[in-house]
Amino acid sequence: MTPRVVFDSNVIFSAIGWRGTPRDCLNLARTWVVQGLVCQHILDEVLEKLMTKLHKNIDEASQIVDELLAFIEMVETMGTLHGICADPDDDEVIECAVVGRARYLVVTGDVKHLLPMREFQGIRIVSPVEFVQIVASIQQEPRDV
């Protein structure tokens, strides 16, 4: 079964703007090694960062987001999960993982709130480096023929 994974907005933004491990993570979804998941909240954050930090206009930023949706599944959240993290935005990301039945939540830049949790309701919360290592080890496991 293909692992289901939520990438937070920082991972997606870094993957779009630069080479490195976040891009490796996104490429795992692009090549269908994993099933990437996002919610509107994450896409809105990515859109905002594309416009404010990479100076993309709304049309350019929207096109990039649309391209993501070609290989990342949209999860509908209701904003009903509250009080899990100190930052309410993080609650929405966790809700996306819960509703999307994710096995992993890949986050970067959130060493205060999400990463220290390490796990929520069976969902492993990991850094991009950890995630790439996990996927590599899964791919090396022997399989019954």
pLDDT tens digits, one per residue of 104-129: 999 987 667 788 888 999 999 999 99
pLDDT at residue number 143: 58
Give the CATH number of the domain where residue 130 resides. Answer: 3.40.50.1010
Count the domains in the chain: 1
Q: Which residues contact 22 (CB under 8 A, 6 or more apart)?
A: 7, 10, 11, 12, 14, 15, 108, 128
pTM, two decimal places: 0.90
In a domain, 120, yes or no: yes
In a domain, 145, yes or no: no
In a domain, 51, yes or no: yes
In a domain, 144, yes or no: no
In a domain, 99, yes or no: yes
Q: What is the extent of the structural domain holding 77?
A: 4-139
Query: Rounded distance, CA 81 to CA 98, Å?
Result: 10
Q: Which residues contact 57 (CB under 8 A, 6 or more apart)?
A: 51
In a domain, 53, yes or no: yes
pLDDT at residue number 85: 80
- Where the chain has pLDDT below 70, the residues are 110-111, 141-145
In a domain, 49, yes or no: yes
In a domain, 35, yes or no: yes
pLDDT at residue number 44: 97
